[in-house]
Chains A and B, each alone.
Chain A
């Protein structure tokens, strides 16, 4: 006679199914806590993930190989910024610079065939095209030989705003800024917004820097955009470029932002946010777990007689323990699944309301469902073990 036998898997599954079918209303209430906990973990992880994806997207268009220099005035100095900088000297003294260009920005109206639009008028040089990753849709960009010409390259949205169906703005058209007519030599491709860039190319008109005085008497350089060759240490370039630029300035400082630092900062921030959300989810899960434990303890005391009968029929302590543990886990598994569906819907809704693209976080489902099951297991162990410790004769005795 063999004294060591295990319940077969099919029997265990059958028991779980029966207990699932006969779950009472109280279990449904306990389930509510589990569903809330599980769905908040799933939703929060996913929302955090989507926020991080969205933040990363902002920087993606700009690339991490781009630096933007600003020139805040030193102390209380009110001296105007210079109208031009010797960028070639900077390029020569800092190895690793692929493209460099200065921007002096001035806002003003542009007129084309009687239609007016406000635009950023950007005085710049030919190299800014590659420094800002501009792509020409039609015509060409400014060239180094255009310095004294009244040529302009126009951003996509601005071109559309000035054009009309049947009368679009084309290369070769002339547009008027104040009293000057500029010849449009190129139209840019539509560009995604680049958050770190001081100007948005879509809403800008690029003209040669040397010609800025025609429309504005005191042009000042606002920013210098530097794009490095691939594989460079951006912090070193930022340091070197900063000191090279400082040599040309008397009343202004140089402040260069390194995109990677900002991305790191944002990632850190969103990670802190995600941890916070995770902690919230964990707290609601523990609340749900206590609910499960409560239901299971009631369950065990209500089914004392059943425990006694099962023991009389040959159930060992571990069979009784497994029975109740399986019920607790089945209960939480149902809660976890409902929670996963609910959490995903909540995350999708949140992404939709925030205008983000919904991306499924790889960790959200396994982490949410897994942690819920662990909670069920943890809070199910005590009731299950206390059920298995009952003596058969005591369990069978009528209350």
Chain B
């Protein structure tokens, strides 16, 4: 299920996005006048020091957090006028999340973890399990389908998380330090997997990272510094 928004140049378009927090009576500006446009099929790295606001930017991009001001269109939907249910549906159908700490549900098997997003779009249990199994095969973990996350290695868990992000055929994958908890060999494998998906299936890839080696492999580099966004020269 790909996006149906030919009218807009980019899949994601942010105009003048600002995000402020009220903390202990003091107003903190996290993001200030962010303008960003990401086209379908791009691969972007969001780089920045910790506390620079890059995670907040990712949360806003992933519709987990709402900005205070600006304009945000995602696949043709105006985010400010969407209801929470519509935002949930967009997350479910357009966005796949990959987290640094994997964020698998410990009580569910790998298979059930991968099948979970499908359950929120009305797919029957039988069908969602079939699709999830196919997705696990694709990331090379079919024989571990019935293991709990606790019984899997870090690399395997991240593969399960990627399978879960992909099972809904999203147009964007948002990855927050996807290799942050992995050793360098495994990190390499995970990056190969993500970049392969971007190349072969034209899935838009947005990766938050502070690792310049990872950023090197991506087409675009977006730098966040003190809540302001710059784009480094495109490759």
In whole angstroms, what is the CA distance A306 to B89 when docked?
18
B64-94 interface bits toward A, Cβ cutoff 8 Å, 1 = contact, 0 = none: 1100000000000000000011101111111
Instruction: Please tell me which one of the listed residues B64, B120, B124, B168 contacts residue A316 in the complex, with CB atoms under 8 A apart.
Output: B120
B85 lies within 8 A of A3 (CB): yes
Q: Which listed segment binds B: A4-12, A77-85, A244-252, A257-265?
A: A4-12
**Contact residue among B4, B59, B121 (Cβ-Cβ distance under 8 Å from A314):** B121
Cβ contacts under 8 Å, A315 to chain B = 88, 92, 120
User: How far apart are the CA atoms of A19 and B107 in the complex, in Å?
Assistant: 8
Give CA–CA (A14, B108) in the complex, Å: 11
| Interface set, chain A 314-337, CB cutoff 8 A to B | 314-319
Q: How far is the CB of A146 from chain B (nearest CB, A)?
A: 85
Whether the Cβ atoms of A18 and B164 lie closer than 8 Å is: no
**In the bound complex, CA of A38 to CA of B112 (Å):** 34
Q: How far apart are the CA atoms of A3 and B112 in the complex, in Å?
A: 23
Contacts A5-B122, A22-B107, A314-B117 given; does A393 touch B65 at CB 8 Å: yes
Which residue in chain A gives the minimum CB-CB distance to B123?
A8
Q: A1-33 interface mask toward B, CB cutoff 8 Å, 1 = contact, 0 = none?
A: 111111110110111001100100000000000
CB <8 Å contact, B125 and A14:
yes
Taking a contact as CB atoms under 8 Å apart, the answer to whether B164 and A313 are in contact is yes
Q: In the bound complex, what is the Cα–Cα distance between A3 and B82 (angstroms)? A: 11
B residues within 8 A CB of A314? 88-89, 91-93, 117, 120-121, 168
Determine if B85 and A317 form an interchain contact, defined as CB atoms under 8 angstroms apart. Answer: yes
- Is B105 in contact with chain A by the CB < 8 A criterion? yes
Residues of A contacting B105 with CB < 8 Å? 306, 309-310
Query: 8 Å CB contacts to B: which residues of A182-235?
Result: none
User: Which residues of chain B are near A135, meaning CB under 8 Å?
Assistant: none
Q: What 0/1 readout, one digit per residue, does chain A (23-47) give for beta carbons within 8 Å of chain B? A: 0000000000000000000000000
Chain A facing B: main interface SS: helix
Question: Which residues on B sit within 8 Å (CB–CB) of A316?
Answer: 84-85, 88-89, 120
A11 to B120, CA, bound (A): 9
Q: Does B186 interact with chain A (Cβ within 8 Å)?
A: no
**Inter-chain contact A309/B103, CB cutoff 8 Å:** yes
Give the interface centre of B88, B103, B117 by most chain A CB atoms within 10 Å: B88
Would B64 and A1 count as touching, CB distance under 8 A? no
Across the two chains, which residue of chain A brings its CB closest to B84? A317
Asked whether, in the complex, the Cβ of A11 is within 8 Å of the Cβ of B65, the reply is: no
B1 at the interface (CB under 8 A from A): yes
Q: Is the beta-carbon distance between B108 and A312 smaller than 8 angstroms?
A: no
The answer to whether A305 has its CB under 8 Å from any CB of chain B is yes
> A42 CB to closest chain B CB, in angstroms?
32
- Of residues 113 to 147 in B, which have CB atoms within 8 Å of A's CB atoms? 116-117, 119-126, 128
Instruction: Please provide the 9 A-B residue pairs with the shortest distance between their CB atoms, ordered closest to farther.
Output: A314-B92, A10-B125, A5-B122, A11-B119, A393-B65, A3-B89, A316-B88, A392-B64, A314-B120
12 pairs, A vs B, C-beta closer than 8 Å: A5-B120, A8-B122, A10-B126, A11-B124, A19-B107, A22-B107, A309-B105, A312-B91, A315-B88, A316-B88, A317-B84, A318-B85
